[in-house]
Structure 1
């Protein structure tokens, strides 16, 4: 298939599928690795990206399953709407919100259009695509959503020059996923937020950052961790964190602070 299908064509062509996954940011990196792994496991795929030629290469590389390329820019309202319509119309077994962009620069130097792009791709798109896909999953009593964030989601207190907005978007994905798990797990919908560290993809190269000398995890290992994490029931999957109790401690401290609040003003604020 070489032509990008319309929303209606995707629906018409896909009616007989048993397992269908939609992957955003599928043209490279983690998204591409997910597409190859899921295709090998027999999933039919809707692959979303901005680069038509990359998506067509992916179609050609997966001849044993049906792959529908959908060219869309999730930095725009129109792009988000187009993909959301497909999410709403299809019976997705798996939605992977992987698309990413990073504009690393000081907050005061970050142009408004680039800040808007970050917010669209990492907050608006994952939220609205999940919102579009969930009703069908709930109606069928099953489905999975994976939101790809990163370990910088836990890096708010750490020095990360030029990454304030980017770090905040990842933290949003963690909180969103945790709350969606609380709301939807009893209805058969599994939620995971995937938080890799530095991964050997084109992501940093597109920002003009050379990390070739830095130890990096492969995109394939990230996918392995995510899919294994689903079988383990992990809501937060951190592929490079050996001691899972560290994550449990983070979230335990969050809950402790949340539960320790009272209607009374804390003593440290009463002293002039």
Structure 2
């Protein structure tokens, strides 16, 4: 029996690369995207596997609910929350509609799709959830010299990292694993769609990115960073997080006490 994977944002870039690789490996697929014609073209190009298409806009409640229904009703072996939107701009310049779109696509949609999928995965005793974030999730301490401004976008990716880590711990021992992948700049049209020319910047290929992600799953890494050679860098970040978490006290810190 073939395994079943659902991939969001599957009509271009990273999502398309995942769908292509999974189809080549014999997975049946549910591919999600905004454009039905592109979804149909993918299905027609992969007759050797079963491909179902779902045209849905994950920035809307209706789109999220439609895809969540598949996550709840289908025996998913793999859920890849890849859909994304950038809208790089300072918070003061970010229209409310675009802010809502970022949060819906990168926070609300992954949360509700995981919520819909995880119960069935636990009952079956197996399943893999992969969230696509980015190294920008670790850029919070950077100063104002770091461009472009992207506070909301960075915050949503940091949410995905922390939620994935916490959920992975919640599900330990159930047979369900959770992972978050943090690419740097990948060779897609993602930045061009935001009016940013990244052509002169060294970029990882989508094929290498997918290869790194799948190897990270095999290694059991919760946080997968395909472009980080020295994994102790990530380990240091996580240890510092835990040290800060454990260092809290009900006593007011000295620096905050009145003179």
Q: Flag whether TM exceeds 0.5 (same fold).
A: yes
Q: Which one of the candidate residues 238, 242, 250 is aligned to 2:237?
A: 250
Q: CA RMSD in A?
A: 0.9
The yes-or-no answer on 1:95 pairing with 2:82 is no
**Runs of 4+, deviation exceeding 2 Å:** 159-162
Q: What does the per-residue CA deviation read over 1:212-239, in whole Å, with 9 as the maximum and x for residues that have no partner?
A: 1110001111111111001100000001
The CA distance in 1 between the partners of 2:45 and 2:195, in whole Å, is 28
The yes-or-no answer on 1:70 pairing with 2:54 is yes
How many residues are treated as equivalent by the alignment? Answer: 256
The CA distance in 1 between the partners of 2:244 and 2:224, in whole Å, is 23
Aligned to 1:42: 26
Q: Which one of the candidate residues 169, 181, 189 is aligned to 2:176?
A: 189
Question: Within 5 A, what are the aligned runs for 1:119-158?
Answer: 119-158=103-142
Q: What does the per-residue CA deviation read over 1:148-191, in whole Å, with 9 as the maximum and x for residues that have no partner?
A: 00000001112243200000000000011001100012111011
Q: What does the per-residue CA deviation read over 1:107-145, in whole Å, with 9 as the maximum and x for residues that have no partner?
A: 101000000000000000000000000001000100000
Cα deviation, residue 61, structure 1: 2.0
SS of 1:38's partner is helix
| Alignment TM-score, normalising by the size of structure 2 | 0.97
Aligned to 1:215: 202
The yes-or-no answer on 1:116 pairing with 2:103 is no
2:137–2:158 contact (8 Å) kept in structure 1: yes
Aligned to 1:81: 65
2:87–2:153 contact (8 Å) kept in structure 1: yes
The yes-or-no answer on 1:59 pairing with 2:33 is no
| Alignment TM-score, normalising by the size of structure 1 | 0.92
The CA distance in 2 between the partners of 1:161 and 1:28, in whole Å, is 23
The yes-or-no answer on 1:170 pairing with 2:154 is no
Structure 1 residue runs without a partner (length 5+): 1-16
2:17–2:207 contact (8 Å) kept in structure 1: yes
Structure 2 residue runs without a partner (length 5+): none
